[in-house]
Amino acid sequence: MHARAGQPAQPEDLIDVDAVTSAYYELIPDPSIVAQRVVFGTSGHRGSSLDTAFNEAHIVATTAAIVEYRRSQGTDGVLYIGRDTHALSEPAWRTAVEVLVGAGVPTAIDARGSYTPTPAVSHSILLANGAGTSSGVRTSGPGLADGIVVTPSHNPPRDGGFKYNPPTGGPAGSDATGWIASRANELLEGGWRNVPRVPLAEAVEGPLVIQHDYLETYVADLESVVDIEAIRSAGVRIGADPLGGAAVDYWGAIGERYGLDLTVVNPSVDPAWSFMTLDWDGKIRMDCSSPNAMASLRGAMTPDAEGKTPYDIATGNDADSDRHGIVTPDGGLMNPNHYLAVAIEYLFTHRPGWGQDCAVGKTLVSSSLIDRVVASIGRRLVEVPVGFKHFVPGLLDGSVGFGGEESAGASFLRKDGTVWTTDKDGIILALLASEIIAVTGKSPSQLHEEQVERFGASAYARIDAAATKEEKAKLAALSPSDVTATELAGEEITARLVDAPGNGEPIGGLKVTTENAWFAARPSGTEDVYKIYAESFKGEEHLALVQEEAKQVVSAALGV
């Protein structure tokens, strides 16, 4: 933990915005260097221009590869593109639009010339493909829309990010991203300068660029997914902090359109994020699930001399608004796992339009409290690998009512049981907290305490353990038979998983479970470590024992 974690950023903590944007254009990547190639992780390609990992050449090549990929799939409709407030997002957006128009792709940009949350892009793609109509979403045939979101999510200000959303509206699968990255790297090796481009000023005046009102389209449709009338009638006092991100104008528009008692806590946008408090490692990071990054908003909920707080609920979003943070007067910043469990129980008992076969989706590193809640309400649990792309099929056809990740990313269906977004939506998860208060008269943290009384309290944590590249590769390729241990922290092992039970997809690691505990080990994609997620319903001491024995189990499986 950094000595100034949770404290306001100082001038020496801030990036030089001009240096970051200049490097985007001036530094040319060398594709023979692995760190300078295009790599799609679970949420697109990310990197910093200062490291020659996110530069003009990368975006030209990646956009050109996306153009080729969509053509190979027969996707010939409008491409919806949005960007967040990171310093590198606008130059990358400009580059992408120039390449798209140069390739003859009809491109929908924000009519306000402003920022666009990730869920608003997903929402517009799905509407264009038939969401909200009696015929439902089309996934084949002519005229299908897709999209690009220019964002590194909650990453530090020096970073940029670029991801592709196919006609299904959510993050692209590994088949698509693997092809796009491979083709982009081919172009980096010699052809990216020859990619046709139309200068932005000319492009936006031409027939291929569509001025699309993402904000109005999204905000006007919110009543179909959240009970806003209940929030308004109850007079819930909301403090919404966009953390300098793309939702900054959306929250004001939501409050105004629906007559809510809603205050935009901090409407400032600054690509250096000078108003942020430092995260656990001393970096500026817009992680709305981090108590340190959310220190200012938590402080805003301090009671006055009469014991009153300014808001009944306070919420935060990350830079592209696909994550949520929930602060309650009685409990502070909620653990993401705890809020997911509360949201799931509330939604599946207050959405009569969702059929009885509608399932609950969770990543396999999310809390087992969710498993117990889901069992209690008689629903089916769909446990998938890390990556929101695994929820896309179920959300799209309505067979999964809620998909959530332990990292505070989730989305859920409209009230009628049809798709809303197939990408994470931090805005509706934040609004849901107000609906919960309005309908139940209790805060999400109070409802979590009630769940603890029924299902038990768990201790949950993630730690890192050192591993070589060879060990990480072996970990990702383990089979259940490689685990010879029969007990974990004094309990019989009940399952050894290398594939997710919800969809049969490889988890890229290992999960071991017992009656009251589990751990999952996954190799890091960027560091020489593997991540150990673990949980115990027998307390912190037992959790520590699970973590220690997890290292031994993994070491034995790896033969080290």
Please identify which residue in the block is written with the tokens 């309400």: 377
Helix or strand (DSSP H, E) at 469: helix 469-476
- Contact present, 489 and 536 (Cβ < 8 Å): yes
**What values do phi and psi take at 548, rounded to 5?**
-65, -45
Q: How far apart are CA 428 and CA 434, in angstroms?
A: 10
Reduced to 3 states, what is the DSSP secondary structure of residue 270? coil
Helix or strand (DSSP H, E) at 522: strand 517-523
Neighbours of 365 (CB within 10 A): 27
Q: State the greatest distance between any 2 C-alpha atoms of the chain, in Å, as a whole number.
A: 68
Q: Which of 122, 153, 443, 458 is catalytic?
A: 153
Q: How far apart are CA 64 and CA 44, in angstroms?
A: 15
**What values do phi and psi take at 468, rounded to 5?**
-80, 170
89 is catalytic: no
The token pair that represents 392 in the structure block: 């896309």
**The residue type at 47:** G
Triad 373, 375, 378: Cα angle to 5°: 115
Q: How far apart are CA 245 and CA 315, in angstroms?
A: 13
Triad 20, 21, 24: Cα angle to 5°: 95
- Residue 237 pairs with which residues in a beta bridge? 261
Calculate the CA dihedral of residues 9, 11, 17, 19 and round it to 10 degrees: -130
Please identify which residue in the block is written with the tokens 């009885």: 356
Strands, sheet with 332-333, edge to edge from the N-terminal-most edge strand:
261-264, 237-241, 313-317, 324-328, 332-333
The token pair that represents 446 in the structure block: 């109070």
Q: How far apart are CA 45 and CA 53, in angstroms?
A: 9
Strands (E), 397-458: 400-405, 409-412
The token pair that represents 521 in the structure block: 């080990």
Residues with catalytic roles: 153
